[in-house]
Structure 1
Amino acid sequence: MASWREIEKDAPEFAERVRKVFGAGKHKTIATLRADGSPRISGSECEFDDGELTFGMMGDSRKLADVRRDPRIAIHSPTLDPPEEGRWAGDAKVSGRAVESAAPPDSPHDGAGFFRVDIAEVALTYVGEPADHLVIESWHAGSGYRRRTRA
Protein backbone atom coordinates (compact mmCIF):
# COMPACT_ATOMS: atom_id res chain seq x y z
CA MET A 1 0.00 0.00 0.00
CA ALA A 2 1.12 3.54 -0.67
CA SER A 3 0.24 7.14 0.01
CA TRP A 4 -0.59 9.50 -2.84
CA ARG A 5 2.74 11.22 -2.17
CA GLU A 6 4.60 7.99 -3.03
CA ILE A 7 2.77 7.70 -6.35
CA GLU A 8 3.55 11.33 -7.15
CA LYS A 9 7.23 10.63 -6.46
CA ASP A 10 7.31 7.37 -8.45
CA ALA A 11 5.25 8.48 -11.49
CA PRO A 12 4.73 12.27 -11.36
CA GLU A 13 3.24 12.82 -14.84
CA PHE A 14 0.81 9.94 -14.40
CA ALA A 15 -0.18 11.17 -10.91
CA GLU A 16 -0.83 14.67 -12.27
CA ARG A 17 -3.10 13.34 -15.06
CA VAL A 18 -5.05 11.21 -12.55
CA ARG A 19 -5.47 14.21 -10.24
CA LYS A 20 -6.72 16.32 -13.14
CA VAL A 21 -9.37 13.73 -14.06
CA PHE A 22 -10.47 13.44 -10.42
CA GLY A 23 -10.63 17.23 -10.23
CA ALA A 24 -12.95 17.55 -13.24
CA GLY A 25 -16.00 17.43 -10.96
CA LYS A 26 -16.89 17.45 -7.30
CA HIS A 27 -18.81 14.17 -7.06
CA LYS A 28 -17.05 10.82 -7.27
CA THR A 29 -18.36 7.28 -6.77
CA ILE A 30 -17.10 5.08 -3.95
CA ALA A 31 -17.54 1.32 -3.78
CA THR A 32 -17.69 -0.38 -0.39
CA LEU A 33 -18.65 -3.88 0.75
CA ARG A 34 -21.89 -4.60 2.59
CA ALA A 35 -22.01 -6.97 5.57
CA ASP A 36 -23.04 -9.83 3.25
CA GLY A 37 -20.06 -9.13 0.95
CA SER A 38 -22.07 -7.62 -1.89
CA PRO A 39 -20.90 -4.31 -3.35
CA ARG A 40 -22.45 -0.94 -2.58
CA ILE A 41 -21.76 2.21 -4.61
CA SER A 42 -22.45 5.68 -3.28
CA GLY A 43 -21.75 9.26 -4.19
CA SER A 44 -18.80 10.78 -2.38
CA GLU A 45 -16.26 13.56 -2.41
CA CYS A 46 -12.52 13.22 -1.95
CA GLU A 47 -9.48 15.45 -1.93
CA PHE A 48 -5.77 15.19 -2.52
CA ASP A 49 -4.45 16.80 0.64
CA ASP A 50 -0.80 17.05 1.71
CA GLY A 51 0.28 13.90 -0.13
CA GLU A 52 -2.78 11.85 0.83
CA LEU A 53 -6.08 10.98 -0.81
CA THR A 54 -8.72 11.79 1.82
CA PHE A 55 -12.49 11.59 2.16
CA GLY A 56 -15.20 11.76 4.77
CA MET A 57 -18.56 10.12 5.42
CA MET A 58 -21.64 11.22 7.29
CA GLY A 59 -22.21 9.64 10.68
CA ASP A 60 -24.71 6.76 10.74
CA SER A 61 -24.44 6.28 6.95
CA ARG A 62 -24.45 2.76 5.54
CA LYS A 63 -21.20 3.36 3.69
CA LEU A 64 -19.53 4.48 6.94
CA ALA A 65 -20.65 1.23 8.58
CA ASP A 66 -19.35 -0.67 5.55
CA VAL A 67 -15.90 0.92 5.70
CA ARG A 68 -15.52 0.53 9.45
CA ARG A 69 -16.35 -3.18 9.09
CA ASP A 70 -14.30 -3.82 5.91
CA PRO A 71 -11.94 -1.05 4.78
CA ARG A 72 -11.54 -2.22 1.17
CA ILE A 73 -12.74 0.51 -1.19
CA ALA A 74 -12.58 1.74 -4.77
CA ILE A 75 -13.15 5.34 -5.83
CA HIS A 76 -14.06 6.35 -9.39
CA SER A 77 -13.50 9.82 -10.81
CA PRO A 78 -16.45 11.94 -11.97
CA THR A 79 -18.00 10.46 -15.09
CA LEU A 80 -17.96 13.00 -17.90
CA ASP A 81 -19.04 12.46 -21.49
CA PRO A 82 -16.28 12.74 -24.07
CA PRO A 83 -16.30 16.11 -25.87
CA GLU A 84 -17.77 16.32 -29.38
CA GLU A 85 -14.35 17.42 -30.57
CA GLY A 86 -10.97 17.24 -28.96
CA ARG A 87 -9.38 14.79 -26.60
CA TRP A 88 -11.19 13.05 -23.75
CA ALA A 89 -9.18 13.04 -20.52
CA GLY A 90 -10.61 9.62 -19.65
CA ASP A 91 -11.61 8.19 -16.31
CA ALA A 92 -9.58 7.28 -13.25
CA LYS A 93 -9.94 4.78 -10.43
CA VAL A 94 -8.17 4.25 -7.12
CA SER A 95 -8.49 1.17 -4.93
CA GLY A 96 -7.08 0.29 -1.57
CA ARG A 97 -8.00 0.48 2.10
CA ALA A 98 -9.63 3.28 4.05
CA VAL A 99 -7.69 4.22 7.18
CA GLU A 100 -9.68 6.25 9.69
CA SER A 101 -8.09 9.46 10.92
CA ALA A 102 -9.00 12.05 13.51
CA ALA A 103 -11.75 14.53 12.74
CA PRO A 104 -10.58 18.05 11.98
CA PRO A 105 -10.67 20.12 15.19
CA ASP A 106 -13.32 22.49 13.79
CA SER A 107 -15.55 19.79 12.26
CA PRO A 108 -19.27 20.49 12.73
CA HIS A 109 -20.14 16.89 11.76
CA ASP A 110 -20.84 14.78 14.85
CA GLY A 111 -20.23 11.09 14.26
CA ALA A 112 -18.72 11.59 10.81
CA GLY A 113 -15.84 9.43 9.67
CA PHE A 114 -12.65 10.88 8.18
CA PHE A 115 -10.26 8.70 6.18
CA ARG A 116 -7.13 8.56 4.08
CA VAL A 117 -6.58 5.87 1.46
CA ASP A 118 -3.74 3.36 1.60
CA ILE A 119 -3.52 2.87 -2.16
CA ALA A 120 -3.07 -0.52 -3.79
CA GLU A 121 -3.85 0.47 -7.39
CA VAL A 122 -4.51 3.52 -9.56
CA ALA A 123 -5.76 3.31 -13.15
CA LEU A 124 -6.32 5.89 -15.88
CA THR A 125 -8.11 4.85 -19.07
CA TYR A 126 -8.57 6.99 -22.17
CA VAL A 127 -8.82 6.86 -25.97
CA GLY A 128 -5.43 7.04 -27.68
CA GLU A 129 -4.20 9.11 -30.64
CA PRO A 130 -5.38 8.22 -33.24
CA ALA A 131 -8.71 7.24 -31.71
CA ASP A 132 -8.46 3.58 -32.71
CA HIS A 133 -7.25 2.15 -29.40
CA LEU A 134 -7.64 2.40 -25.66
CA VAL A 135 -4.75 3.40 -23.39
CA ILE A 136 -4.62 1.99 -19.87
CA GLU A 137 -2.06 3.52 -17.53
CA SER A 138 -1.78 2.09 -14.05
CA TRP A 139 0.26 2.07 -10.89
CA HIS A 140 0.32 -0.92 -8.52
CA ALA A 141 1.87 -1.18 -5.08
CA GLY A 142 4.97 -3.32 -5.44
CA SER A 143 5.30 -3.04 -9.24
CA GLY A 144 4.89 0.67 -9.98
CA TYR A 145 3.80 2.35 -13.21
CA ARG A 146 2.72 0.53 -16.37
CA ARG A 147 1.20 1.63 -19.73
CA ARG A 148 -0.73 -0.72 -22.03
CA THR A 149 -2.87 -0.31 -25.13
CA ARG A 150 -5.82 -2.31 -26.37
CA ALA A 151 -7.21 -2.17 -29.92
Structure 2
Amino acid sequence: MTPVNWGAFVSAAPGPARIAEERFRAHRHHVLATLRRDGSPRTSGLEADFRGGELWLGMMDGSLKALDLRRDPRFALQANPGEGTGMGGGDVRIAGRAYEVEGERKARYAKEVEPPQPFHLFRTELTEVVRTYVEDDRYLVVQVWTPGAPLRTIRRA
Protein backbone atom coordinates (compact mmCIF):
# COMPACT_ATOMS: atom_id res chain seq x y z
CA MET A 1 0.00 0.00 0.00
CA THR A 2 1.46 3.32 -1.08
CA PRO A 3 0.32 6.29 1.05
CA VAL A 4 -1.47 9.08 -0.82
CA ASN A 5 -2.43 12.68 -0.11
CA TRP A 6 -5.87 13.98 0.83
CA GLY A 7 -6.73 14.81 -2.79
CA ALA A 8 -6.30 11.15 -3.79
CA PHE A 9 -8.76 10.15 -1.05
CA VAL A 10 -11.23 12.78 -2.28
CA SER A 11 -10.96 11.38 -5.82
CA ALA A 12 -11.29 7.75 -4.70
CA ALA A 13 -14.11 8.22 -2.17
CA PRO A 14 -15.71 11.68 -2.56
CA GLY A 15 -18.69 11.04 -0.26
CA PRO A 16 -16.69 9.74 2.72
CA ALA A 17 -14.05 12.44 2.14
CA ARG A 18 -16.69 15.18 2.25
CA ILE A 19 -18.13 13.78 5.49
CA ALA A 20 -14.64 13.48 7.03
CA GLU A 21 -13.86 17.11 6.20
CA GLU A 22 -17.21 18.20 7.65
CA ARG A 23 -16.41 16.34 10.89
CA PHE A 24 -13.02 18.03 11.14
CA ARG A 25 -14.40 21.47 10.26
CA ALA A 26 -17.23 21.18 12.83
CA HIS A 27 -14.71 21.85 15.64
CA ARG A 28 -11.40 23.64 15.77
CA HIS A 29 -9.35 21.28 17.94
CA HIS A 30 -8.73 17.56 17.42
CA VAL A 31 -6.49 14.88 18.92
CA LEU A 32 -3.21 13.88 17.30
CA ALA A 33 -1.40 10.69 18.30
CA THR A 34 2.35 10.47 17.67
CA LEU A 35 5.08 8.13 18.88
CA ARG A 36 7.55 9.14 21.56
CA ARG A 37 11.22 8.22 21.34
CA ASP A 38 10.58 5.07 23.42
CA GLY A 39 7.68 4.03 21.12
CA SER A 40 4.90 4.85 23.56
CA PRO A 41 1.99 6.97 22.30
CA ARG A 42 1.65 10.69 22.87
CA THR A 43 -1.69 12.47 22.33
CA SER A 44 -1.88 16.22 21.77
CA GLY A 45 -4.40 18.80 20.70
CA LEU A 46 -4.13 20.03 17.12
CA GLU A 47 -5.85 22.06 14.42
CA ALA A 48 -6.10 20.31 11.04
CA ASP A 49 -6.30 22.18 7.74
CA PHE A 50 -7.59 20.87 4.41
CA ARG A 51 -6.15 23.03 1.64
CA GLY A 52 -5.06 22.46 -1.95
CA GLY A 53 -5.67 18.70 -1.92
CA GLU A 54 -3.58 18.23 1.21
CA LEU A 55 -4.23 17.64 4.89
CA TRP A 56 -1.85 19.97 6.74
CA LEU A 57 -0.77 19.75 10.37
CA GLY A 58 0.62 22.96 11.86
CA MET A 59 2.36 23.08 15.24
CA MET A 60 4.11 25.47 17.56
CA ASP A 61 7.86 25.73 17.11
CA GLY A 62 9.68 23.08 19.12
CA SER A 63 6.53 21.26 20.24
CA LEU A 64 6.98 17.65 21.35
CA LYS A 65 4.51 16.39 18.74
CA ALA A 66 6.55 18.07 15.99
CA LEU A 67 9.74 16.52 17.33
CA ASP A 68 7.97 13.13 17.46
CA LEU A 69 6.94 13.44 13.80
CA ARG A 70 10.41 14.49 12.72
CA ARG A 71 11.76 11.31 14.30
CA ASP A 72 8.91 8.96 13.28
CA PRO A 73 6.33 10.28 10.79
CA ARG A 74 3.51 7.91 11.77
CA PHE A 75 0.40 9.57 13.19
CA ALA A 76 -3.29 9.12 13.88
CA LEU A 77 -5.67 12.07 13.92
CA GLN A 78 -9.04 11.78 15.66
CA ALA A 79 -11.81 14.26 14.88
CA ASN A 80 -13.26 16.05 17.88
CA PRO A 81 -16.56 14.27 18.64
CA GLY A 82 -18.15 17.44 19.98
CA GLU A 83 -20.30 17.82 23.05
CA GLY A 84 -22.65 15.12 24.27
CA THR A 85 -22.98 11.73 22.67
CA GLY A 86 -24.64 12.60 19.36
CA MET A 87 -21.46 12.76 17.26
CA GLY A 88 -23.47 14.07 14.32
CA GLY A 89 -21.83 12.59 11.24
CA GLY A 90 -19.97 9.95 13.20
CA ASP A 91 -16.46 9.48 14.44
CA VAL A 92 -13.58 9.96 11.98
CA ARG A 93 -9.94 8.92 12.31
CA ILE A 94 -7.13 9.45 9.80
CA ALA A 95 -3.83 7.56 9.96
CA GLY A 96 -0.70 8.02 7.92
CA ARG A 97 2.68 9.68 7.84
CA ALA A 98 3.51 13.37 8.19
CA TYR A 99 6.53 15.06 6.62
CA GLU A 100 7.80 18.50 7.53
CA VAL A 101 7.60 21.16 4.85
CA GLU A 102 10.10 24.02 4.62
CA GLY A 103 11.08 26.70 2.13
CA GLU A 104 8.79 28.22 -0.48
CA ARG A 105 5.91 25.80 0.12
CA LYS A 106 5.83 26.67 3.82
CA ALA A 107 6.10 30.39 3.00
CA ARG A 108 3.11 30.17 0.60
CA TYR A 109 1.09 28.35 3.26
CA ALA A 110 2.00 30.98 5.87
CA LYS A 111 0.80 33.77 3.55
CA GLU A 112 -2.60 32.08 3.16
CA VAL A 113 -3.14 30.99 6.75
CA GLU A 114 -1.06 33.48 8.77
CA PRO A 115 -0.19 31.06 11.60
CA PRO A 116 1.65 32.19 14.74
CA GLN A 117 5.38 32.38 13.98
CA PRO A 118 7.60 30.43 14.14
CA PHE A 119 5.84 27.14 13.41
CA HIS A 120 6.25 23.63 12.04
CA LEU A 121 4.20 22.55 9.02
CA PHE A 122 3.64 18.92 8.06
CA ARG A 123 2.16 17.53 4.85
CA THR A 124 0.40 14.20 5.31
CA GLU A 125 0.27 10.96 3.38
CA LEU A 126 -2.71 8.79 4.27
CA THR A 127 -2.64 5.08 5.01
CA GLU A 128 -6.20 4.78 6.34
CA VAL A 129 -9.38 6.77 6.93
CA VAL A 130 -12.05 5.26 9.21
CA ARG A 131 -15.54 6.55 9.91
CA THR A 132 -17.74 4.94 12.56
CA TYR A 133 -21.38 5.91 13.02
CA VAL A 134 -24.78 4.59 14.08
CA GLU A 135 -27.39 3.97 11.38
CA ASP A 136 -31.14 3.85 12.07
CA ASP A 137 -30.41 3.52 15.81
CA ARG A 138 -29.81 -0.17 15.05
CA TYR A 139 -26.47 -0.65 13.35
CA LEU A 140 -22.93 0.29 14.12
CA VAL A 141 -21.39 1.09 10.74
CA VAL A 142 -17.64 1.19 10.15
CA GLN A 143 -16.31 2.48 6.83
CA VAL A 144 -12.63 1.86 6.13
CA TRP A 145 -10.67 3.31 3.23
CA THR A 146 -7.06 2.49 2.41
CA PRO A 147 -5.10 3.59 -0.68
CA GLY A 148 -5.63 1.36 -3.68
CA ALA A 149 -8.60 -0.49 -2.19
CA PRO A 150 -12.33 0.16 -2.44
CA LEU A 151 -14.20 1.58 0.53
CA ARG A 152 -15.18 -1.27 2.89
CA THR A 153 -18.38 -0.97 4.91
CA ILE A 154 -19.10 -3.20 7.90
CA ARG A 155 -22.51 -3.16 9.63
CA ARG A 156 -23.03 -4.69 13.06
CA ALA A 157 -26.37 -5.06 14.78
What's the TM-score, normalizing by structure 2?
0.87
User: What SS is found at the alignment partner of 1:6?
Assistant: helix
Matched, 1:28 2:30: yes
| Cα distance in 2, alignment partners of residues 60 and 4 from structure 1 | 26
Matched, 1:122 2:129: yes
| Cα distance in 1, alignment partners of residues 85 and 47 from structure 2 | 22
> What is the letter of the counterpart of residue 29 of structure 2?
H
Aligned match of 1:109: 117
Aligned match of 2:60: 58
User: What SS is found at the alignment partner of 2:151?
Assistant: strand
Q: Could you tell me whether the CA contact under 8 Å between 1:88 and 1:127 is conserved in 2?
A: no
User: What SS is found at the alignment partner of 2:96?
Assistant: strand
Q: Say which structure is richer in helix.
A: 2
* Structure 1 residue 64: Cα displacement: 1.0
Q: Percent identity, aligned pairs only? A: 38
Taking only aligned residues, the RMSD between alpha carbons, in angstroms, comes to 1.5
* Equivalent in 73, 79, 82 of residue 85 of structure 2: 82
User: What SS is found at the alignment partner of 2:68?
Assistant: helix
* Structure 1 residue 126: Cα displacement: 0.5
Moved over 4 A (4+): 105-108
Q: Could you tell me whether the CA contact under 8 Å between 1:76 and 1:92 is conserved in 2?
A: yes
User: What SS is found at the alignment partner of 1:144?
Assistant: coil
Q: Could you tell me whether the CA contact under 8 Å between 1:11 and 1:145 is conserved in 2?
A: yes
Q: Could you tell me whether the CA contact under 8 Å between 1:26 and 1:45 is conserved in 2?
A: yes
User: What SS is found at the alignment partner of 2:69?
Assistant: helix
What's the TM-score, normalizing by structure 1?
0.90
* Structure 1 residue 66: Cα displacement: 0.5
Aligned match of 1:150: 156
User: What SS is found at the alignment partner of 1:74?
Assistant: strand
Structure 2 unaligned spans of 5+ = none
CA deviations over 1:44-84 (Å, ceiling 9, x no partner) = 0011101110011111111111110000000000122334x
Matched, 1:91 2:91: yes
* Structure 1 residue 101: Cα displacement: 1.1
Structure 1 unaligned spans of 5+ = none
